[in-house]
Amino acid sequence: MNAQHATVRLAVVDTDSGFLRVLTRRFDAAGWEYRVLAGAVPAEELVAMKLNALVVDLSLLGPEGWDFLERVSSMLPGLGVVICTQSSTTAQRVRGLRLGADDWITKPAHPEEVAARIEAVVRRRKRSQPKADAGPVMAGEVEVRADQFQAFVATRSLDLTRREFELLQVLADNSGKVVEREDLYQRVWGYAMAHGDRSVDVFVRKLRGKLEKHSPGWAYIHTHFGVGYRFDPEPTDGDAGVPAAAEPGEPEPAAGSQNFHTSATSR
Amino acid sequence: MNAQHATVRLAVVDTDSGFLRVLTRRFDAAGWEYRVLAGAVPAEELVAMKLNALVVDLSLLGPEGWDFLERVSSMLPGLGVVICTQSSTTAQRVRGLRLGADDWITKPAHPEEVAARIEAVVRRRKRSQPKADAGPVMAGEVEVRADQFQAFVATRSLDLTRREFELLQVLADNSGKVVEREDLYQRVWGYAMAHGDRSVDVFVRKLRGKLEKHSPGWAYIHTHFGVGYRFDPEPTDGDAGVPAAAEPGEPEPAAGSQNFHTSATSR
DNA sequence: GCCCCTGTAAAAGTTCTGTGAACGGATTGG
DNA sequence: CCAATCCGTTCACAGAACTTTTACAGGGGC
């Protein structure tokens, strides 16, 4: 689960021997696998190479370059593509990006920079790959759109901070299941929870606050004592809930809000 | 704007009557709309023609040709450009393509081939630039016309620089969604953002300034801390031109009066 | 009833954004 | 060809927004 850093498998389409020499030296130093191509090749061949990055000198390919770029990026959606040219206008770069490129480098470029950008592109692709095919996550009234960094409750948008959003995302992804506290932390914060860290609690509280403000009468995040939390939209038990009955202008938090939550279904 | 299949609207900049005769005959046969120009014209005129392709004899324009080419391709990023010349060196072709041309034809050329290349270029452009062909983008009081490089607020034209315009365009295209800072940068600047680059912030500020100056009482660009920006026209709570609604202390009116995008959401 | 766990609030600490201004390159006009 | 200007970028500082830590109180399980 924790590949220290991504292995880069790339192909370079270029014929500039000087540029290639410094580049490949840098690639070797990083232990990357690479291959040098002298021109466009059928996309199928690239697929067979199982690359995760591609560096192309577009000026080398002429007008065919755009076609090549388009073909490649549509056939290998997971491939990070870095264009490099002698010079370029913004219009060209934007066009390249629209056709699927991820970055654009102008020669001459320092090999360090090229490598850094390739690495960034691979990392970025890796991160955004699953996001792309996963549609919006729905759980009851709650909708989480990972691609937009936005969450909605009953069609109304929630204004969440980064951590709040990521926490909600993990919880909603595992809707109905109990997520262990440490697991939660690991997935949101990206590293192991230190002893005595209460961040999770604090953010659960914040999330609850915002969720309930937008749909009172519902409990979303349930506490499992000594274990973790479970996301599961459920109407709050009997008494008032929300339907007209209770005093409308009285969602006043202070005293009222600290009940329920713990349906404590722990085994 | 209901051209079902790719209608080609092109201009030919050439004075070679023989070449023109065979070409235009072919264009007529295909039912294309075209126009013949005897020399370079201001890019604005080309914009007004709403072309999607341009064929230019560069030898006709001499050294000005490169300028013309660059101006045109930067001002009309959605335009397919085909160069044709009597003869050319590789260096020239590379230069032309670099400046934004899509293809290069050497005379004499068979009209069939010219037509085929034009068609290919238009098809390619259409796929890669769906936005440019689309009508004006509207978002609240704001209208962005990609084809004119102009934006309007409440029918009044905004005086934007190139970057400002492109930034607004990307934001308005994704109206309602949060666009990540890096995405924004990549789409406007054409390459990946370097660490520590604050250009986006600066231009957001400039845009906000110009937008709010032209329609006070409205907020257009909303900040999502640590993530990016979201374009979404919303009245500013101040007072200005909107029915003064609820006062604070009126959190959730259950079901009664729905939509009020409270701009001052919790957090 | 005791001890551990969680809810809640607020202080303390970090990181990020808003903003004005200076710098340098590019463009325009003379 | 030079000067005036505009534009884009970078820098520095202030302030805002967010995260983490800390503290205490209320519940839960045994």
Is the pTM for the entire model greater than 0.85? no
Whether B257 shows a pLDDT value over 50: the answer reads no
The predicted structure's pLDDT at residue B8: 85
Cβ-based neighbour number of residue A170 at 10 Å = 19
- Chain A touched by B58 (CB under 8 Å): no
Contact A59 B250 (CB under 8 A): no
| Residue for token pair 């990521």 | A166
B99 vs A243: which has the higher pLDDT = B99
With a pLDDT cut of 90, the percent of chain B lying above it is 31
- Chain B touched by A155 (CB under 8 Å): no
The C-alpha torsion from A48 through A51 and A52 to A54, rounded to 10°, is -120
Supply B198's token pair.
Answer: 């604050």
B120 vs B90: which has the higher pLDDT = B120
B contacts of A159 (beta carbons < 8 Å): 265-267
Contact B252 A148 (CB under 8 A): no
Burial of B152 (0-12, 13-18, 19+ CB in 10 A): middle
**Rounded Cα–Cα distance for residues A131 and A125 (Å):** 10
Site from B74, B93, B97, B177 to mutate, A interface, most A CB atoms within 10 angstroms: B97
Contact B186 A103 (CB under 8 A): yes
Over residues A75-126, the pLDDT tens digits come to 888 899 999 988 777 878 888 888 889 999 988 788 888 998 898 888 888 7
Task: Give the closest of B74, B178, B191 to A149, CB-based.
Answer: B178
Chain B 248-267 residues in 7 Å CB range of strand D:
267
Whether B261 shows a pLDDT value over 50: the answer reads no
pLDDT tens, per residue, chain A with 267 residues: 444 456 889 999 999 999 999 999 999 999 999 999 998 889 889 999 999 999 999 888 877 788 888 889 888 888 999 999 887 778 788 888 888 899 999 887 888 889 988 988 888 887 766 655 567 888 888 999 988 899 999 888 999 999 999 999 999 999 999 999 999 999 999 989 888 899 999 999 999 999 999 888 889 999 999 999 999 988 876 444 444 333 443 343 333 333 334 333 333
**Rounded Cα–Cα distance for residues B110 and B54 (Å):** 17
Q: Among residues A167, A173, A267, which one has the least CA distance to residue A226? A: A267
Contact A89 B101 (CB under 8 A): no
The predicted structure's pLDDT at residue A34: 95
Length B257 CA → C25 C1' (Å): 55
Burial of B169 (0-12, 13-18, 19+ CB in 10 A): buried
Residue in A with minimal Cα distance to B123: A67
Question: Strand D closer than 7 Å to the CB of A245?
Answer: no
Mean pLDDT across B234-256: 46
Burial of B197 (0-12, 13-18, 19+ CB in 10 A): middle
Angle between helices A90-98 and B181-189 (to 10 degrees): 120
Question: Residue B6: which pLDDT band, with cuts at 50, 70 and 90?
Answer: low
**Rounded Cα–Cα distance for residues A188 and A170 (Å):** 7
The predicted structure's pLDDT at residue B227: 95
Give every CB contact of residue B94 below 8 A, 6+ residues apart in sequence.
A59, A62
Pairing verdict, β B142-145 and B137-139 = antiparallel
Residues 202-261 of A with CB under 8 A from B: 209-210, 213-214, 216, 242, 244, 248-249, 251
Over residues B57-94, the pLDDT tens digits come to 888 877 777 878 877 877 776 788 898 888 777 777 77
Mean pLDDT of chain B: 79
Over residues B142-157, the pLDDT tens digits come to 999 887 788 998 888 8
Task: Give the lowest-confidence range in A55-59, B29-33, B116-120, B250-254.
Answer: B250-254
Contact in structure between B39 and B46 (CB atoms under 8 Å): no
Over residues B170-205, the pLDDT tens digits come to 999 999 999 999 999 999 999 999 889 999 999 999
> How far away is chain A from the Cα of B111, in angstroms, using its nearest Cα?
19
Q: What's the one-letter identity of residue B81?
A: V
Whether B239 shows a pLDDT value over 70: the answer reads no
The predicted structure's pLDDT at residue A264: 38
Question: Strand C closer than 7 Å to the CB of B227?
Answer: yes
Residues 105-144 of B with CB under 8 A from A: 124, 127-129
A contacts of B267 (beta carbons < 8 Å): 159, 161
DSSP letter string, A247-258: -TT---HHHHTS
The predicted structure's pLDDT at residue A187: 95
- CB-based burial, B42-77: b 16+ in 10 Å, e otherwise: ebeebbebebbbbbbbbbbbeeebeebbbbbbbbbb
The predicted structure's pLDDT at residue A263: 39
